[in-house]
Each structure stands twice: as C-alpha cells, then as structure tokens.
Amino acid sequence: MRATCLGWLVAVVLYQLLLLTVTEAQVADDYLVADLPDLSPEDAAQLKQYAGHIALDPARESNLFFWMVTNRHPQNGSKLIIWLNGGPGCSSADGYFLESGPLRFVDKKLTINKGGWHEFANVVFLDQPVGTGLSYTSQQLLGSLPEITDHFLAFLKAFFQIFPERAQDDLYLAGESYAGTYIPYFARGILDHNGNVPKDDVAYNLKGLAIGNGWIDPLHQYTSYIPYIVQHGISTPDLLDELVSQQDRCLDDIRLHDRISQNRCEDLVQTILQHSVTTDLSPMCTNQYDIRLVDEYPSCGLLWPNELPQMKEYLTRNDVKAALHANGAILPWTECSTRVSSALRFDDSMPAISLLPAILDRVNVLLFSGDKDLICNHIGTEYLISNMTWQDTKGFQDAPAIPWMVDNEPAGLWRQDKNLTYVLLYNASHMVPYDAPLAALDMMNRFMGLDPRMQTFTSHLDTDTSENQNLPPGGEKVDIGQPKRSFFSANVAAVLLLVMIAVGIGIFVVVRKNQQQKKLGDAHDGIQWFPLSNSRSSVRGREPVHTDELDELVIESAIHDSEDEYHDDDDERTFGSQDRRV
C-alpha cells in the first residue's frame, strides 16, 4: 500500500513538473537566446534573438522550430517578416545564415550581415513543415498543402500568444523557391481566418507577400527552360531538339493532371545539366541555381553554397542547440529532408497560381527573381505575370520597367501595376540575398513602404523624388520611358526570336482558356487555362497555328534584352529528382 502511494505521489510530482515546463515554455523570456556560441560579444550586443520549439497540439507531438531576431531601428510602424525556405523540406537556417538573416559565416567565423532584414523589421525564420530542420514530430509527416497550412496557422496562434506585442505588427510572408507554393496557401489561410476570427484568437495584420524565384506556376516554369538557355547562350541544337520532345510529354502530363510537380517535367532540367557535363577527369556541370558556376556532376548545385558544411557542423553542435532551446529535436539537423519531400510526393493540391489572383484582390505581392537562376528562372515568373488576370486586368499592360541602382551600381529593374510588383535582380542566383544582400534589403524595405533614406547605403529608383521617396516602388503612376535597350548580334537575335515565338505558341496551346470547362476552386482561377485536348507545342513548326490565337497571347520574356545593359560579374530534393528548390 505504501509503495502504491509512493508511486502515485511520484507520478503526481512528475505530472506537475511537466505542466510547469509546458507553462514556462509559453513565456517569451524562456526563448531568449542569451549566448550564441562563437559569436563575439560586440556582435552579440547588436542582436536580440529568440528561438525554440512551439508545440502545435496539446500532446506536444508536433513542434515547429523558429528563430526570431528583433528589429534594430523600427520605422513607419512595426513590421514582422516570417521567412520560409522551400524544398519542400529545406531548413530556413539557409535564410538565416546565407541570405536575409543577421549573421553570415565569413572566413569560417560568424559575423554580422550588413544586409540583414532585421534592420527595420522583426524577422522570424521558421523550419516547416514538421520534419524540416530542427522541427520535429512523433506522428506521420504531412502529405498535403492544406495540412501544412493548418500547422502554420496553429503556429501563428501560439506564437502571438507567446509574443502578443508582435500580433500588432504588419505581417509579411517572405521566402523563395518552393515557398512560392507555401506562401499563397498560408496567405489564403490567414485571410480565411481573418474573415471568421475565433473568440480566443486575433486577426492577423497580413500586409504583403514577397516570393523570390518562386515555384508558383509549374506550367509556365516548365515551359521557360528552353527560352532561358537560349537567351543565356547555354543551348545547342541537339539539346533543344531533345528538350522540345520532353516538353511535349511534359505538357501532356499537365493536361491530364495539373499538379505542383510533374516527374517527367522535372527531366527538363536534368537534361540541361547532363548536356553541360565536361569530359574532364573530374566531370563538372552547370550549377542549376547559378549558371555562372560549375559543380561536381551529378550534384550540379547541390553542394552550393560553399558555407553549407560549416552551417551543418554548427547546427548539429549540442551547445548551439542548447542555446537555441532546440534540444528536443529528434533527428540531427540537415539542410533538406528527403523524408519531408517524399511525404508530399503524391500531394494533389492545386499549384499556388490558382490562389494568387484572389489574394491580389486584398494583399500586396512582390515577385522577385535573380537572373542567374535556372531551376526557377525569371522567364517563368514573367510568363506567369503576363498570362495572369487580377483585378480585371491581364498582365502588366503599360507598366514601365524602371532602372534601379544600389550603391551606385545597376541592381535590376522594377515593374509595378496595381498591387503587384516584379523585380529582376542582376547578377543574382536562386538565393537572391546571398549574392545581392544590400539590393535585397533595399527591395524589401521599399516593398514594406519604409524610407530608403534611413539605410546605411544609397539606392535609387527613377520614381524617387523628394515627394515620394518613402513610398513603395511604383506607388504612383510615373510617365517615364523604357530603359535603353541593347541587342544581340543578328544571328543570335534571330535564333532567340524564333525560339521565343515558337515556345510562345506552345504555351498558348496549353494555357488557352476552355470556356466550356472553367473550373472553380480546383483550377487556375484568374488565368488562361487549357482544354484537355491532344494539342502539342509546335516549337519545331510541325503544326500550323492560327494567327488569331496569337493575338490573344501575352508573352513577356526577360524585361531586359541583353547582359550588355549591366555589369556581369564573371540538399532541396523534390519528388525523387536530384533538385532541391530551397
């Protein structure tokens, strides 16, 4: 009897300790990062950070890891950016240490990133879905975008309960690559939440979405590879011939079943990479995330950036995990989880482009692209915009391309119409802030409506005047001319023109709207879609195409025509391919 009572008493004490732990974990100060290993006291004094796991269910079986750095100099109201890397299954530690975060590895040492987005905003780097980075679950991994969205909304609710002052911030969702799929789904979830706020919750002040080199619209991204490699001079006749046949098969698959990713369509990039292999003793190939670089075959970019090994070593250290309150992580940190991507292999959710037009009715959206990225290249984003209808208008219409300077160097081009902004960044890869940290910071600050004159570096848009410098780019209609255009040689220009026209014909056959089969809720709402027919792309001119069909098509390739306009500085695994879209 005494043993039974003692056992009961021990159980009660353990239960009370568990409750105490759970209660304490909901206090903001318990997430404070007091001493980050290897960071100098001088640099640490510039940062205030919080990190740890937030439980998504009462049993605490699913936990998302976040890492927040607070703003240094708030202006125009407090802003909160939630940064997401892609994959699916790639850790947002990429964003923290390689892109928009406060720290970088320089000469194998942690140092302050002068392009960190925390200068004027609070920034949260979130490992999601569960199983990504330091996030974990004892349950089955998620297999669909609606499930992942539910988890994200559960995270928001818990996060704002722990940090109630952040619930008043203007909220921006930002990320790159496969985050171009996550972010529109999360935005729709937030807007639905705000339309019917539960009694124990608050509305979220969603102000904008910022997506870099985004995997938003598979149809137009898959059909962008041919014109991209032609424009950038990395094509051959044999390669083009093989790609055209593959693209035909790819479009057939899309007609049968519109999905976020298509296995046979993924072969397009693999074919390009295989044709780029050198015959040296150590075979090298084009880096699919930065065409200026080469990598060992068959990695072709999976070993890039060079800081990845150091980042992995750092995040698997016990003292680092303890400082980040992340000791509960079940598996060692890896950059990209193949388990997470495999769980989403058969996700039948519609591509995120189906959600974007309705979101644009209510929220500002920034799409930006580094011009040196192949896998989610800028031409695909430009095709997306040209063929999307939002607020009763298709494409950008007469919106000009506006030159942009950062630190007295050409940084890129801007286009803006209504509440959609598109930015093409020069000399930037798949991970834009990695190559152009100051330009990326200036871009985000302008998008959030912050005053660029408060920055520690100079920047300029042709729309900048003493009256409107503190407005987002393109905030007012400005009558300026198109930027000066330069041209390729006659032969290259002719080849490019023929290929672009031919690919445009192929895209039109695919995206032509089927008036008799308009899909509601489960189709590309707001853009031209395609009938389920046997039409095939006519890149090689095999089939006649009526010119009246071309009159309806808007094809915008790169909004600059040649690299002469600016100075050229000479493990995300999806659905069984060798790609990783971070």
Point out the residues that are catalytic.
177, 373, 430
Distance CA 357, CA 525 (A): 7
What is 278-306 written as a DSSP string? --SSS-EEEETTEEEEEEETTTTTTT-ST
* Sign of the CA dihedral with 542 first, then 546, 549, and 551 last: positive
- How far from 173 is each of 79, 322, 444, 525, CA to CA, in Å? 11, 28, 11, 22
Distance CA 431, CA 400 (A): 26
Burial class (CB in 10 A: 0-12, 13-18, 19+), 140: exposed
Distance CA 580, CA 582 (A): 6
Task: Tell me if 294 sits within 8 A of 304, measured CB to CB.
Answer: no
- How far from 546 is each of 277, 298, 330, 496, CA to CA, in Å? 39, 42, 59, 21
Distance CA 85, CA 94 (A): 7
160 is written with which tokens? 């704002």
41 is written with which tokens? 């006291």
Give 437's DSSP letter: H
Helix (H, G, I), strand (E, B) or coil at 151: helix
Give 90's DSSP letter: B
Task: Tell me if 287 sits within 8 A of 295, measured CB to CB.
Answer: yes
Closest CA to 86 of 298, 375, 291: 375
Distance CA 123, CA 141 (A): 26
- How far from 57 is each of 23, 61, 62, 164, 378, CA to CA, in Å? 14, 7, 7, 19, 39
Cβ neighbour number for residue 410 with a 10 Å cutoff: 17
> Which residue type occupies 292?
R
